[in-house]
Structure formats: structure tokens, C-alpha cells
Amino acid sequence: MMSARASNLWVVWLTLGFALLLSVSTMPRFMEMGRPLWLALFLTFWVLALPHRVGMTTAWCLGLLADVLNGSLLGQNALVLTLITFLVLTLHQRLRMFPMWQQSMVLLVVFGLAQLVQLWLHALTGNRQPTLEFVFPALVSALLWPWVCAILRGLQQRIGVN
């Protein structure tokens, strides 16, 4: 039997759309190399909160949208976001039990691996020279994780997303 309470999935899509906008917004030049992985952060939260509703198909579709918005190689962000979602889904039972600082450390590794794949794809296409700058977005995203998680959890509880 269906639950009488609405699932309010529009909030999930609204926040993911906001993350897409944040990922293409302009930043000062000196902050550009440490741009947080907004879409990965928001997607990670919703995968942890609603693994039965937000999964790899969602990540793939959002990645294709991010590819179109960024003007990057079609499928590049889709592959990276799907990898992040796969790793988070694989670890989601453990991640939910960890304290916030341990979640941040695990997500630093997950986002670092995703950035390494992104660097590899850039090197294959000849767009970018391999440097250690690829670590900065993963580090900034891991540091932002507690705040993003707290804001989205409050939104989820206030609106009743299930």
C-alpha cells in the first residue's frame, strides 16, 4: 500500500539543479583551481540519504547535463559522477555509521580518485598537462562536506523528503 505522506522528490531535483548552477558559476581566477565539486557533494548526500531513489542512472544523467553545460567531452563528467556514485553506494552502510570527520576523509579519497580519472581523461584528450592541482577540488569538497550535509539534512527533515 502506498504511503499517505508525499515523497517530495522535487526537493532532490531542485537541489541537484542548484548544484549544477553552482558548478558553472563564475569564480575569481585565484579560486578557480580549488572549485568545489558541488554536483558530486550534493549527489553524494542524496545517494547516502535516499539510496533507493537516487543512484547511478541519476548520476549519469546529471553528468551528461554537466558535460553539456561545461562544454567538455560528452560523457566525461557522466563517467566521473557515476564512479563517485558507485563508490558511495558500495560504502553507504559504513559511511552512514561514521562520524562526520571520517566521512570527510573517506570522501576525500573518493573525490580524489574521481579527480584522478578526470585528470587521466584530460591527458588522453590532450587538454591539460598533469599537475598536482587536481587534488585541490577534492580537498575543498571534503572540507565542505560537513556543512553541505548539515544544510541538506535540515532541508530534508524540514520538508519531509523520503
Residues 81, 16: Cα–Cα separation, whole Å: 13
The shares of helix, strand and coil residues in the chain, as percent rounded to the nearest 5, are 75, 0, 25
* Three-state DSSP state, 137: helix
* Amino acid in position 46: W
pLDDT of 10 strictly over 70: yes
| pLDDT band with cut points at 50, 70 and 90 for residue 1 | very low
Task: Tell me the pLDDT tens digit for each residue of 20-75.
Answer: 999 999 989 888 888 999 999 999 999 999 999 999 999 999 999 999 999 888 99
Distances (CA, A) of 139 to 50, 78, 84, 136, 145: 25, 21, 15, 5, 10
pLDDT of 129 strictly over 80: no
Residues 27, 23: Cα–Cα separation, whole Å: 10
**Range of lowest pLDDT (44-48, 79-83, 132-136, 142-146):** 132-136
Q: What angle do CA 35, 23, 117 make, to 5 degrees?
A: 65
Tell me how far the alpha carbon of residue 60 is from its chain's centroid. 12
Residues 38, 69: Cα–Cα separation, whole Å: 14
Q: What angle do CA 151, 112, 84 make, to 5 degrees?
A: 65
Q: For residue 2, give the C-alpha cell.
A: 502506498
* Amino acid in position 141: S
Comparing 162 with 82, which gets the higher pLDDT? Answer: 82
Across residues 89-95, what is the average pLDDT? 94
Mean per-residue pLDDT over the chain, rounded: 91
Identify the pLDDT of residue 77: 94
Task: Tell me the pLDDT tens digit for each residue of 77-90.
Answer: 999 999 999 999 99
Q: For residue 122, give the C-alpha cell.
A: 584530460
